[in-house]
Amino acid sequence: MASGATVDGPAAASAKKPKLHGRAFYESLGSPKYIVAPMVDQSEFAWRMLSRSFLPESQQSNLLAYSPMFHARLFHESQKYLDQHFQATKPGSDAPFLDGNPAIDRPFFVQFCANEPQHLLRAAKYVAPYCDAVDLNLGCPQGIAKKGHYGAFLQEDQDLVFRLINILHENLDIPVTAKIRLLDTKEASLKYAQNVLRAGASILTVHGRRREQKGHLTGLADWQMIRYLRDNLPAETVLFANGNILRHEDIDKCLAATGADGVMSAEGNLSNPAIFATPPAAGQEPRGYWRGRDGRGGWRVDEVFRRYLDIIHQHVLGAPPPQRRPLFVPGDDTAWMDEEIVLPGQAEGDDRGPKKRRSDVGKENPALMAANFIGLQPHLFHLLRHFVSRHHDVRNALARARLGEMDSYEAICRMVEKKTAEGLLEYEKTGGKSVEAEDCAPAATQEQLDDPESSARAISDCRRPWWVVQPIIRPLPKEAMAKGAISLSKKDRKRMASEMEAGKEGEKGAKRNKDVVVADASAAVTAAVTAQLEKTTSYPSSGLVSG
């Protein structure tokens, strides 16, 4: 077991408060309706702070953030794992530091995956003094969760689900919450939710997709199913909805459609950490917010990049951020754009040798293995996804950046600022035509925009210039299959063909219009598979494909 991670928790536990439950607990937090989702290695302290930074200080308590998903057994058995993922106090002291710091990182829930109640309780006891609730992950659909028997792969064992939640409910001084996925039917999903609540969960988060809806099969989250649960669970149940949140505008749509108390975002938040903030009014935009000639806008990537680095400097490293010039807007002096940007290791005589493996870096400097450093590069790739598809030099520089090497990230940030400035100047020079010229995709037809089985509407609504943060749009399952991104196993093809052949035999002799006969077996299989893939992606008025 990790040093100090005992069942009784750290020695410096904070004073106990009366334990609240359900809606009383939720209201004690300020009834937050914006929730940063628990994401493996991606909802660490610095990212939570970045997401909060776009809200006015008076509204930051309205954003509830979850920790990344932690493995309960590793958390309490491995000091190395604990040190890497959870930094609630400063090294060698009991002073608040990062995770769960009452001054800057609340409300805050810590999420664990587990399949053994005692392991879960030990880990939960350790974090309890530093968070507002402990959450059980019952939604992870990935292969590693199947192999480890946790996340969404516990849903067949409702007795174990009950015991995992109940042991925390009975033994923690703070509430327990849980996040689930939908089952195949609304009746089964309701029984599942009722079991979780009966076990003692104070808040229930529902991801509106089934376990198999991931990757190219993600499809739409089913808001109607979440509404069914809302209408059939006790009125005092606190319910969070997760899925289909690509833009800020989707939050109120989700609340209205589902009746949920709050809305959780994962991928939408990763693409745009300002997703929960109300966009500034026209004419009141700060320098870091761009608005185009068509009135549509968004936060600039250079602004978000700067904020992220400043949080690392100030909070993680405990040092003042570098002095920075105001972000460029057209009309400013451009002399700075002629300055040469030299990446570390590329200057004459600056030979750092080959990039080291993470394990070697950790041996030389264990402090760099902390989650806030490990998450930096992946987060920036996600934020700059559209940007680096055009600027490959930035992509290559980011790929070469070394763990914790802040001078490299500062140099890349300057590259991003310069290229953003060039894009803004070109946009003004051409009256906006430069953006139109760079859009190589053919314009969607009205039929495509109105098609609920197409992602065209979401792409059209969300598209912004490459210097603006924006969501990554997944194709719907039918589109993915048409592009060859989804393929069937031989077993599935054989089964589908057999089913279709049996259906044809049963229809022999019936009077049918020959135009509706599926003559080609492969086409029949494709049609059947398409129907199967779209099984529960039927929210009719949603043009969203991710979240």
| Alpha-carbon span 490 to 487, nearest angstrom | 10
As a three-state string, the secondary structure of 368-422 is HHCHHHHCHHHHHHHHCHHHHCCCHHHHHHHHHCCCCCHHHHHHHHHHHHHHHHH
What's the rounded Cα separation, in Å, for the pair 547 and 536? 16
Concerning whether 140 is annotated as a catalytic residue, the answer is yes
Contact between 312 and 372 under an 8 Å Cβ cutoff? The reply is: yes
Using DSSP's 3-state secondary structure scheme, residue 442 falls into coil
Q: Which residues contact 89 (CB under 8 A, 6 or more apart)?
A: 10, 12, 95, 96, 97
Q: Position of tokens 């040190």? A: 83
Structure tokens at 449: 């925009």
For residue 137, what are the β-bridge partners? 179
Q: Which amino acid, one-letter code, is at 350? A: D
Reference 97, options 315, 277, 263; nearest CA is 315
3-state helix, strand, coil in the chain (%, to 5): 45, 10, 45
**Which candidate in 113, 131, 140, 413 is catalytic?**
140
DSSP 292-337: -TTS-EEEBHHHHHHHHHHHIIIIIS-SPPPP-PPPP-TTS--GGG
Cα(210)–Cα(205) distance, rounded to whole angstroms?
A: 14
**Closest by alpha carbon to 182, among 203, 202, 212?**
212
Please enumerate in sequence order all residues whose Cβ is within 8 A of that of 102, keeping only pairs 6 or more positions apart, or say none. Answer: 96
| Separation of alpha carbons 487 and 317, rounded Å | 47
**Which sequence positions are flagged as catalytic?**
140
